[in-house]
Amino acid sequence: MQPLIKKSLKRLLYSGYLTLAAWGLLEIAYRYQWIDFYATELRYLNPEAALRANSGKSRILLLGDSFSAQPHSYVDTLRDSLPGLDIINAAVPGTGILEAAIIGADKTNRFPPDVLLYQVYAGNDLWDIRKSCASPKISLARKLYWLLSDYSLALRYLNYSLGQFKSRIGKSVEKQELKRDIPFSAALYSKRERLLLQAEPGLLRHSILAEGARGRDLERWLGEMDRIIAALPARTQRIVLLVLPHCVQVNDYYGNNLEALGAEPFGPEILQAPYPFLQRIQAHYAGQPRVSVFSPLPVFQQNDSTGHRLYYANDPHLNPAGHQLLGQVLQAYLERL
């Protein structure tokens, strides 16, 4: 019996060694972008003409997350209204500043921009830096993944790829029905958002107000952003940080809905147009003339109302009306630079 046990242990150790070696190799390959891990997304989000490196036009390179990484978004409005510019949309769903530093390094080499447009999201960009793993409502397996994914970007990429595969075969956790004009329902709301609120009920409040540990996470975010800016080519004369608000910052309709899902109660300070998350970014870059910080929150607050919502009722992303408005105000802002 003992030889059989020893043989099984050896096989287990060998399998573990191979797994760690493969994981380590993938981590290195991802961090150095030995291959373009997001080539499919780049082709999907950009017309072929824009991807030609020598079009002769001035170029905007866009980095961001799922708010920007969709085929019909505010980017369409920019392309239609700014035909003299090439706009390269290198946004990727589910990514944050840590991935953006890697994606940006690769894409700025391939498409040196005159303007870097970086889309920031107050809702979960700090979560992307550090996950909360203390809640008893979260499974041990998920906590382990979250803990490891704070250090392994390859693991995040594998999880993202699995999500994309599930979406293609109709097994996605998030249903497309959520992104339709249907009434709010706590049972129907985005499962991912509900999960984040179970893990950290105060996530939105603490992130928006840059409180406590989330304030320290914002300091790390700023350090990562500094490194992205420092690595830009000399050609890049403007950096625009587009700070998108969470829907709870727009009006009480969204705040009440999120509280019904288990979010920590929001006070009136959550609706401030100049809010700490934004103000900290503005203050950090106040002495850098080529860096501009743009917040569409005041315009969103003025234009979102019953019968004309800018966000989906059961998903915190912008709906078509929100994207159209964002494209219009961002176009006007870019033309003033």
Nearest CA to 74 out of 309, 193, 314, 242 is that of: 242
Taking each continuous run of H as one helix and of E as one strand, the counts in the chain are 13, 5
Residues of the chain above pLDDT 70, percent: 95
Report DSSP state, residue 146.
Answer: H
pLDDT, tens digit (0-9, with 9 covering 90-100), for 270-308: 999 999 999 999 999 999 999 999 999 999 999 999 999
pLDDT at 166: 77
C-alpha pair distances (Å), 140 with each of 137, 153, 201 = 9, 20, 18
Nearest CA to 143 out of 152, 134, 153 is that of: 134
Residue with tokens 């709906």: 319
pLDDT at 53: 62
More confident call, 2 vs 160: 160
pLDDT at 308: 96
pLDDT at 55: 67
The token pair that represents 187 in the structure block: 């049972």
Residues of the chain above pLDDT 90, percent: 82
SS3 89: strand
pTM assigned to the model: 0.93
223-231 mean pLDDT: 97
Nearest CA to 249 out of 235, 232, 263 is that of: 263
Do the beta carbons of residue 249 and residue 208 sit within 8 Å?
yes
239-256 mean pLDDT: 98
pLDDT, tens digit (0-9, with 9 covering 90-100), for 110-149: 999 999 999 999 999 999 999 999 999 999 999 999 999 9
pLDDT, tens digit (0-9, with 9 covering 90-100), for 60-78: 999 999 999 988 999 999 9
Report DSSP state, residue 175.
Answer: -
Contacting residues for 217 by C-beta, under 8 A, at least 6 apart: 126, 129, 130, 207
Q: What CATH topology corresponds to 38-128+181-336? A: Rossmann fold (3.40.50)
pLDDT at 49: 80
pLDDT at 3: 72
pLDDT at 51: 84
pLDDT at 231: 95
C-alpha pair distances (Å), 241 with each of 209, 244, 333 = 18, 9, 12
Q: Model confidence at 8, in pLDDT bands (50, 70, 90)?
A: confident
Range with the poorest average pLDDT among 5-19, 147-161, 314-328: 5-19
pLDDT, tens digit (0-9, with 9 covering 90-100), for 169-197: 655 544 555 567 789 999 999 999 999 99
The rounded mean pLDDT for the chain is 92
Q: Model confidence at 48, in pLDDT bands (50, 70, 90)?
A: confident
Domain ranges of the chain: 1-32, 38-128+181-336
C-alpha pair distances (Å), 144 with each of 99, 151, 202 = 20, 12, 21
